[in-house]
A and B are shown apart, each in its own frame.
Chain A
């Protein structure tokens, strides 16, 4: 019989403790709450960023589902996970979805923290967001400006190349579009995915099915918030108009609204506020 060495036992115990701690932490990392956002100024050359106080701690708010920043004068519903090792706006990040409570005005949500130099935000100018080749071209044009000032009127950012044709065999394509609470405004990144699906459809043909949902959110304090009655139908109506305007004929798509709010669990409830679009290719 092999006797376990004390060091190994200790290691096993430690591992078990870490595993338990991690699983406990993972469960605890999902948060859902409503609060006033706080704006933080981070210097004369940077955008505002946002934090929120929750259970005595400050968290940085960064929406992962598009370009959806908090607004002063309104509360926000924060649904996400605490990312302990990531800092946003000088505070531990909550990664998830930020919903501005647009139907109510909350004048008390009006705090802006002045720039104290403690938060440094990386420069995110347009040149850093374009492809490397374009960036080099832009910098080359900047170098030319001293000799030829007219270079400063040349386009710095080029149009992306057209999407390439889609070749068979075609496969089923699905795009989920998610919405802030009580909203039917689609986010830019998800609209780009939808445009690709429609591009795909122009080659594959077939039928597009759209399912629209509305959701509820279980807050950490036990409150369940349901979206307004009719949100699913509003999203369905919006999508019918959207697809028609994008040139999809009526017979090529069908829309089903699911009017009952999907039950809330307190974890990723935001995923229930969605429109699910599936393309079934003709062949």
Chain B
């Protein structure tokens, strides 16, 4: 029996606690500060590990067993700025990066960590480095600068002719009007600022969708064949990145090598294979909650804890009476129902989580005026719940027939105007199909997918993402607009005029923090 099979067997036999203690001990032996993983730390990445966060602990199962990270390309500073992949994809932060971690790192290193590299760890490379103000978007919102070439580069082997012009209306970072880095520079670029996505459960994200034919062959947005991974030649579901520019883990790594890592030469094929294999062998979820306790094992709902991601079939519809999106939570519903004794904090919390799962799954609302969603045949409005609508994938909560959509994370008026982000005016050409609800003149903080496709309909659209490890990686949404889960719920409640009760909001937050 292989190590991972043994591991899974142990987990499913309910001996999780002993294993957890063993592995957590390995990690915590180095002390609290060891949660930050620097390039070249040369640690062992264990078969199972846990990392503290404000709500409890995030657990990672590494299905290939412990690996030595020495010289591993994910953990080694291969570029000129001292970063590695792990710099922005910290195990403690669900393989993403939380603002609290960023701020702590700033304090610990006085802003000298490679994380704060001028190229994209500051608001603009031309700003004086090492000053807090120059790194405000990273420090306050967890945002990395993404310079997108303008006009867009060929994508998926095809030339892109933009259907719109772009004008900088406001440029608080100075980067979009910067003579060296801006739109009018020698290499014109649109600087947008986005959160790093979690590099966890990637095997789920890379699986073509099941049960939604023909959208295992065609892309929901335009009903055209799914793009093919440049390294595989096979169709890919485009779930990896907010704008879909990286189609596979290797493709994404190659892009990151030259941008975020500032490598002079790209990864070798062998290194890319190592990176991809590593990313696909990690499964993660919140494993312990400070109130509910252990989120794994027979006393917890089966959909919680990292093992749920190991055993759960990949890329399946979860919005049905069996799967209930994240599995059955009645084990915690009955905690409340059967309790004849006065409720304590733990049972109340568990019951709240179970109710939150129901709210997520069952309460329908009008999903309206969402560009590249309502206009794809669904109708406007489309009346669904969170779980039966855009977060319908079993155990993961992303969109199974994925489409880049504009729910109002980037475009005005749904997004609150933000004084910290650039504001662009998009003017679409007269002969092209306009944005379904915003027309031909759109004000946006981030043109999103349209910077890849050049399409007016794609302005502000981004890809729905997975819902695992939320407690470990605040703030939320592509532009870091919500500092915590309550703000996230409030955004949806306002955006779609849902009218959740206060209790429902609390339940939703409790539910999401355990995922």
A: residues with CB less than 8 A from B are 39, 41, 44-48, 50, 66-74, 100, 102-103, 105, 112, 125-127, 138, 141-142, 145-146, 149-160, 185-188, 191-192, 195, 238, 241-242, 245-246
Q: Is the CB of B436 within 8 A of A71?
A: yes
Identity of the chain A residue whose Cβ is nearest the Cβ of B395 in the assembled complex? A153
Q: Is the CB of A74 within 8 A of B380?
A: yes
**A240 smallest CB distance to B (angstroms):** 11
Q: Is the CB of A152 within 8 A of B302?
A: yes
Quick one: given A152-B302, A157-B320, are A102 and B213 in contact (CB under 8 Å)? no
Q: Is the CB of B380 within 8 A of A141?
A: no
Quick one: given A187-B377, A242-B224, are A155 and B439 in contact (CB under 8 Å)? no
Cα A109 to Cα B224 in complex, Å, equals 30
Q: Is B366 an interface residue (CB 8 A)?
A: yes
Cα A126 to Cα B210 in complex, Å, equals 13
Cα A142 to Cα B320 in complex, Å, equals 11
Q: Is B387 an interface residue (CB 8 A)?
A: no
Residues of B within 8 A of A69 (CB): 377-380, 382
Residues of B within 8 A of A188 (CB): 214-215, 223, 377
Q: Is the CB of B377 within 8 A of A67?
A: yes
Q: Which of A41, A72, A156 contacts B320 (CB 8 A)?
A: A156
Q: Is the CB of A192 within 8 A of B322?
A: no
A interface footprint on B200-219 (CB within 8 Å = 1, 0 otherwise): 00000000001101110110
Identity of the chain A residue whose Cβ is nearest the Cβ of B12 in the assembled complex? A150
Q: Is B437 an interface residue (CB 8 A)?
A: yes
Cα A185 to Cα B218 in complex, Å, equals 11
Q: Which of B313, B322, B378 contacts A145 (CB 8 A)?
A: B322
A-B contact count (CB 8 A): 153
Residues of B within 8 A of A159 (CB): 210-211
Cα A42 to Cα B324 in complex, Å, equals 23
Q: Is the CB of B433 within 8 A of A155?
A: no
Cα A39 to Cα B301 in complex, Å, equals 38
Q: Is the CB of A155 within 8 A of B313?
A: yes
Interface hits, B90-141 → A, CB 8 Å: none
Q: Is the CB of A242 within 8 A of B225?
A: yes
Q: Is the CB of B210 within 8 A of A71?
A: no
Cα A144 to Cα B240 in complex, Å, equals 34
Cα A44 to Cα B303 in complex, Å, equals 26
Cα A161 to Cα B350 in complex, Å, equals 40
Interface hits, B302-329 → A, CB 8 Å: 302-303, 308, 311-313, 316-317, 319-324, 327-328
Q: Which of A47, A70, A74 contacts B384 (CB 8 A)?
A: A47
B: residues with CB less than 8 A from A are 210-211, 213-215, 217-218, 222-225, 228, 301-303, 308, 311-313, 316-317, 319-324, 327-328, 330-331, 363-364, 366, 368-369, 374-384, 394-395, 433-434, 436-437, 439
Residues of A within 8 A of B217 (CB): 191, 195, 246
Cα A196 to Cα B368 in complex, Å, equals 34
Q: Is the CB of B377 within 8 A of A154?
A: no
Q: Is the CB of B320 within 8 A of A191?
A: no
Q: Is the CB of B222 within 8 A of A185?
A: yes
Residues of A within 8 A of B433 (CB): 102-103
Q: Is the CB of A48 within 8 A of B383?
A: yes
Residues of A within 8 A of B327 (CB): 149-150, 152-153
Q: Which of A46, A105, A186 contacts B223 (CB 8 A)?
A: A186
Cα A155 to Cα B434 in complex, Å, equals 39
Identity of the chain A residue whose Cβ is nearest the Cβ of B318 in the assembled complex? A156
Given contacts A73-B436, A127-B322, 10 further A-B contacts (CB under 8 A): A41-B383, A67-B377, A68-B377, A146-B330, A149-B327, A155-B313, A157-B210, A157-B211, A187-B223, A195-B214
Identity of the chain B residue whose Cβ is nearest the Cβ of A241 in the assembled complex? B224
**B292 smallest CB distance to A (angstroms):** 16
A contact face: mostly helix, strand, loop, or mixed: loop
Cα A103 to Cα B368 in complex, Å, equals 18
**A131 smallest CB distance to B (angstroms):** 12
Could you jot down 29 A-B contacts, CB within 8 Å?
Answer: A39-B381, A44-B363, A44-B364, A45-B364, A47-B379, A48-B382, A66-B377, A67-B377, A69-B379, A72-B381, A105-B436, A112-B366, A125-B321, A138-B320, A142-B321, A149-B301, A151-B322, A152-B302, A152-B328, A155-B323, A155-B394, A156-B316, A157-B320, A158-B211, A159-B211, A188-B214, A191-B217, A195-B214, A242-B225
Residues of A within 8 A of B376 (CB): 185
Cα A68 to Cα B378 in complex, Å, equals 7
Identity of the chain B residue whose Cβ is nearest the Cβ of A156 in the assembled complex? B322
Residues of B within 8 A of A160 (CB): 213
Max count, chain A CB within 10 A of own CB: residue among B377, B379, B436:
B379
Residues of A within 8 A of B437 (CB): 73, 105
Residues of A within 8 A of B381 (CB): 39, 48, 72, 112
Cα A127 to Cα B321 in complex, Å, equals 8
Q: Is the CB of B368 within 8 A of A245?
A: no
Cα A138 to Cα B211 in complex, Å, equals 14
Q: Is the CB of A154 within 8 A of B436?
A: no
Q: Is the CB of B383 within 8 A of A142?
A: no
The 5 nearest A-B residue pairs measured at CB: A69-B379, A71-B380, A245-B225, A152-B328, A157-B211
Identity of the chain B residue whose Cβ is nearest the Cβ of A160 in the assembled complex? B213
Max count, chain A CB within 10 A of own CB: residue among B311, B324, B381, B439:
B381
Cα A69 to Cα B313 in complex, Å, equals 31
Cα A99 to Cα B218 in complex, Å, equals 21
Q: Which of B313, B324, B368 contacts A154 (CB 8 A)?
A: B313
Residues of B within 8 A of A154 (CB): 313, 322
Q: Is the CB of A156 within 8 A of B369?
A: no
Cα A155 to Cα B213 in complex, Å, equals 16
Cα A39 to Cα B436 in complex, Å, equals 17
Identity of the chain B residue whose Cβ is nearest the Cβ of A189 in the assembled complex? B214
Cα A74 to Cα B377 in complex, Å, equals 13
Residues of A within 8 A of B308 (CB): 153
Cα A71 to Cα B228 in complex, Å, equals 32
Cα A192 to Cα B321 in complex, Å, equals 26
**A71 smallest CB distance to B (angstroms):** 4
Residues of B within 8 A of A241 (CB): 224
Residues of A within 8 A of B328 (CB): 145, 149, 152
Residues of A within 8 A of B324 (CB): 152
Cα A72 to Cα B368 in complex, Å, equals 9
Identity of the chain B residue whose Cβ is nearest the Cβ of A146 in the assembled complex? B330
Cα A66 to Cα B223 in complex, Å, equals 12
Cα A245 to Cα B218 in complex, Å, equals 10
Residues of B within 8 A of A155 (CB): 210-211, 313, 316, 323, 394
Q: Is the CB of A185 within 8 A of B379?
A: no
Cα A41 to Cα B218 in complex, Å, equals 31
Residues of B within 8 A of A242 (CB): 224-225
Identity of the chain A residue whose Cβ is nearest the Cβ of B222 in the assembled complex? A185
Quick one: given A44-B364, A159-B210, A195-B214, are A141 and B322 in contact (CB under 8 Å)? yes
Quick one: given A138-B322, A149-B331, A152-B303, are A72 and B380 in contact (CB under 8 Å)? yes
